[in-house]
């Protein structure tokens, strides 16, 4: 019998894909001062479409026994993204920033998982985004604030003002992952879905870099 908690297995099995996402040139340029304010804005807009799908899916799973313990209003990001885009671009931000192909694939997959009612798949997407926002996202926000002179406007997405301790929140989240009664096959499927979610995030950075090069 394996004694490794699921949350730990998940983290270990996805570590290299996490590295691919975090290390994508578009992202690492932003983190090292080689990216522009417009690059950052382009990313915020793509986040909007992704969270629109994710948070619509959360409504779909609100009463699901497996998924609902993960869903919390403290996490909801769409209003913050709206505020950021309004501040950074203005109300017509969608015209300048339609979804790139990777975002469309990402959104379609989240919607498909929700339509199927697959709780494990939803949790996979929920985990990949929100635990990331509560982890590396906190460092990203600080660097964007420093680089582009933002206070809270423009980086509201990263500020979870209803979560006092991201560290404790993540610990509770991992306990919840460990307590779901998924069998080994379902755990594999969930890990595969997280790997897929990382691929979408990496592809998103590739698409944003390509759009920038073409501009």
Contacting positions for ligand HEM (CB under 6 A): 10-11, 18, 21-22, 27, 31, 127-129, 131-132, 135-136, 139-140, 170, 198, 201
Q: Judged by CB, which is closer to ligand HEM: 15, or 86?
A: 15
- The closest residue (CB) to ligand HEM is 136
**Residue 72 to residue 68: CA distance in whole angstroms:** 8
**In the complex, minimum distance from the CB of residue 169 to ligand HEM, in angstroms, rounded to a whole number:** 10
Half-sphere exposure of 196 toward its Cβ, with a 13 Å CA cutoff? Answer: 19
Phi, psi of 194 (to 5 degrees): -65, -40
**In the complex, minimum distance from the CB of residue 163 to ligand HEM, in angstroms, rounded to a whole number:** 13
**Residue 52 to residue 15: CA distance in whole angstroms:** 26
Q: Judged by CB, which is closer to ligand HEM: 11, or 60?
A: 11
**In the complex, minimum distance from the CB of residue 90 to ligand HEM, in angstroms, rounded to a whole number:** 26
**In the complex, minimum distance from the CB of residue 91 to ligand HEM, in angstroms, rounded to a whole number:** 27
CB of 119 within 8 A of CB of 66?
A: yes
Q: Judged by CB, which is closer to ligand HEM: 46, or 201?
A: 201
Q: Judged by CB, which is closer to ligand HEM: 85, or 191?
A: 191
Place of tokens 């799908």: 53
The secondary element (H helix, E strand) that includes residue 118 is none
Q: Judged by CB, which is closer to ligand HEM: 117, or 138?
A: 138
**In the complex, minimum distance from the CB of residue 194 to ligand HEM, in angstroms, rounded to a whole number:** 7
What are the DSSP calls for 31-70, one per residue?
HTT-S-HHHHHHHHHHHHHHHHHHHHHHHHTTT-TTTGGG
């Amino acid at each position: 019998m394996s004694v490794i908690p699921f949350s730990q297995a998940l983290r270990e099995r996805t570590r290299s894909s996490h590295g691919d996402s975090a290390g994508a040139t578009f992202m690492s340029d932003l983190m090292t001062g080689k990216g522009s304010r417009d690059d950052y804005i382009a990313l915020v807009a793509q986040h909007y479409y992704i969270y629109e799908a994710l948070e619509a899916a959360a409504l779909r799973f609100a009463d699901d026994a497996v998924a609902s313990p993960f869903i919390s209003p403290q996490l909801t990001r769409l209003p913050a993204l709206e505020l950021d885009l309004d501040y950074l671009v203005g109300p017509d931000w969608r015209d300048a920033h339609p979804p790139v192909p990777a975002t469309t694939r990402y959104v379609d997959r989240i919607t498909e998982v929700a339509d199927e009612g697959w709780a494990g798949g939803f949790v996979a997407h929920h985990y990949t985004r929100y635990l990331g926002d509560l982890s590396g996202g906190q460092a990203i926000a600080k660097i964007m604030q420093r680089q582009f002179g933002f206070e809270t406007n423009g980086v509201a997405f990263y500020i979870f003002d209803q979560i006092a301790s991201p560290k404790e929140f993540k610990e509770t989240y991992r306990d919840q992952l460990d307590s779901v009664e998924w069998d080994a096959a379902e755990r594999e499927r969930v890990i595969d879905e997280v790997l897929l979610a990382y691929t979408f995030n990496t592809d998103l950075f590739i698409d944003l870099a390509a759009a920038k090069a073409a501009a």
